[in-house]
Structure 1
Amino acid sequence: MIIIPKRLEGVFEIQLSSFYDNRGLFMRSYDESIFSEYGIHRKWIQENQSVSLKKGTIRGMHFQYTPFTESKLLRVVSGAVLDVFADLRKDSPTYGQWDSLILSEDNRSMVYIPRGFAHGFCTLCDYCTVQYKVDQVYTPSAEGGIRWDDPSLAIKWPTQTPLLSEKDKNLPTLDLFISQNRGIDSA
C-alpha cells in the first residue's frame, strides 16, 4: 500500500498492492497502522455503494455542513470514474480550489478526502460501482452541494452533457455559497 499526499492538504491517494496467484488476486484495502502513520485513520461508521449505469453520469458535488462534516474513503469496485474534490474549509489556503484523480477497478487506487470538502465523480464507462466509507452519519438536514458546472470552480469534467439527478441540477454556485459565508469546518 502506497499513500501519496495530493495537492490539496489532507487529501491522499492510496495505491493498493495486489498479490496474484493461480486463483486470482488478494489485496488489503485498509490497514489501521498504515493509515494512522499518515493521520488518516478514522472510525468508519457507515459504508455506502453507488451503481451508475451510464457513462457520463455525474454525482456531486456533495458535502455535509458543520457539525456533520464527513471524511470519505472511496474506491471503485467496477468501472472507472474521474473523482473530484473541492476544498470548502474556511481556514484553508486552498479554499475554493479543486483537484481530481481517476479511480478504477484496474488501477486499484483509493482516495481519502478529509472533512470540509465537496465531493463528486463522473463515470468514464457504463456500469460503475463506487464504494465508500464515511466517519459521520448521513444527516439529510445538513446536506449541501455546489453545482457541477460552477464557473468559479471550472472543473474539467470529461463531459459537458452529463446525466444528473434533479437535486444536482439545482445546486447553488460556489459564489452563492461564499456570499452566505457558508464555508465548512474541517473539525
Structure 2
Amino acid sequence: MQIEETAVAGVHVTTPRHLPDERGTFHEGFRTDLLEAAVGRPFVPRQQNLSVSRRHTLRGIHSVTVPPGQAKYVSCVRGAVRDIVVDLRIGSPTFGRHHVTELTAESGRAVYIPEGVGHGFLALTDDSCVSYLLSGLHVPGTQIDIDPFDPELALPWDCPAPPLLSPKDTAAPSLAQVRAAGALARWDDAARRPVTTGDRA
C-alpha cells in the first residue's frame, strides 16, 4: 500500500497494490499500522457510515467541531466519485487549500482526513457507494456544513449537470460565516490534541 501526503497538511491518499489472478483481484483496503506510521497519530475506527448516491449528487462540505473531533478514512466501494477535502483549521499553514482525488471501486484508493478538515464529494456514476471509517461516534449538533460553492473556496466540482444537493447543503453558510461564528477548529487544537476513545461517547 502506497501512502502519500497531499497539499493539505495531514491529509493522505492511500493507493493499494492489486493482486490479480484468474478469479479477479485482491487488495488491502485498510491497514492501521501503515496509516498510523504515515500520519503520525493513532487512528482507531469507532463507526462506519455508508452513503449511496445517484450520479451528479454532491455531498458536503462537512466537518465536525473540535472537540469532539472526527478523523475519517473515505473510500468508494462501488462506482466513482470526485472527492474534495479543504483545510478549515484556523492557523493551519494550508488553511483554505483543497485537494481533489478521484475515488473508484476499481482503484481501491482512499483518503485519510484529519480532524478539522472539511470533506465532500460529487458522484460520477449512478449507485456510487462511499464508505467512511470514523475515529469518533456521531454526536448530534457537532456537524459543520459549508456551502460547497462558496466563491472563497472556489472548489473544482466540474459537474456537467446541475448537482443534486440536500436542503441542508443548499442552505449551508459560507466559510466566512462559519468562521465568524467561531465553529472552526484551531490548527493547534486539531493537530496536537491526542486521539483517545474516552471522549467519543
User: Which category describes the TM-score, using the shorter chain as reference length?
Assistant: over 0.9
Does residue 152 of structure 1 match 2:152?
yes
CA 1:78 to 1:40, structure 2 compared with 1: closer, same or farther past 3 Å? Answer: farther
Instruction: State the shift of 1:33 in Å.
Output: 2.3
Among all aligned residue pairs of Structure 1 and Structure 2, give the percentage whose two residues are the same amino acid.
Answer: 32
Q: Is the 8 A contact 1:56 1:158 kept in 2?
A: no
Q: What CA distance in whole angstroms lies between the structure 2 residues aligned with 1:55 and 1:74? A: 18
Q: Is the 8 A contact 1:64 1:139 kept in 2?
A: no
1:71-150 superposed matches below 5 A:
71-150=71-150
Code of the residue aligned with 1:181 in structure 2: it is G
Equivalence for 1:162: 163
Deviations 1:159-185 (A, max 9, x none): 262101111111100111122233214
Per the normalisation by structure 2, the TM-score is 0.88
Deviations 1:141-161 (A, max 9, x none): 111110011110010112262
Secondary structure, aligned partner of 1:33: helix
Deviations 1:81-102 (A, max 9, x none): 1101111111201112222111
Q: What CA distance in whole angstroms lies between the structure 1 residues aligned with 2:119 and 2:30? A: 21
Q: What CA distance in whole angstroms lies between the structure 2 residues aligned with 1:16 and 1:147? A: 32
Secondary structure, aligned partner of 1:112: strand
How many residue pairs get aligned? The number is 186
Q: CA RMSD for the aligned pairs? A: 1.3
CA 1:41 to 1:15, structure 2 compared with 1: closer, same or farther past 3 Å? Answer: farther
Q: What CA distance in whole angstroms lies between the structure 2 residues aligned with 1:97 and 1:174? A: 12
Q: Is the 8 A contact 1:122 1:158 kept in 2?
A: no
Q: What CA distance in whole angstroms lies between the structure 2 residues aligned with 1:41 and 1:17? A: 23
Equivalence for 1:19: 19
Q: What CA distance in whole angstroms lies between the structure 2 residues aligned with 1:162 and 1:36? A: 35
CA 1:15 to 1:41, structure 2 compared with 1: closer, same or farther past 3 Å? Answer: farther
Secondary structure, aligned partner of 1:176: helix
Instruction: State the shift of 1:28 in Å.
Output: 1.0
Q: What CA distance in whole angstroms lies between the structure 1 residues aligned with 2:31 and 2:125? A: 30
Code of the residue aligned with 1:15 in structure 2: it is T
Q: Is the 8 A contact 1:71 1:135 kept in 2?
A: yes
CA 1:40 to 1:78, structure 2 compared with 1: closer, same or farther past 3 Å? Answer: farther
Code of the residue aligned with 1:175 in structure 2: it is A
Q: What CA distance in whole angstroms lies between the structure 2 residues aligned with 1:181 and 1:13? A: 29
Q: Which has more strand, going by share of residues? A: 1
Equivalence for 1:48: 49
Q: Is the 8 A contact 1:77 1:130 kept in 2?
A: yes
The ranges of structure 1 where at least 4 consecutive aligned residues each deviate by more than 6 angstroms after the TM superposition are none
Q: What CA distance in whole angstroms lies between the structure 2 residues aligned with 1:165 and 1:181? A: 24
Code of the residue aligned with 1:65 in structure 2: it is T
Code of the residue aligned with 1:165 in structure 2: it is S
Instruction: State the shift of 1:106 in Å.
Output: 2.2
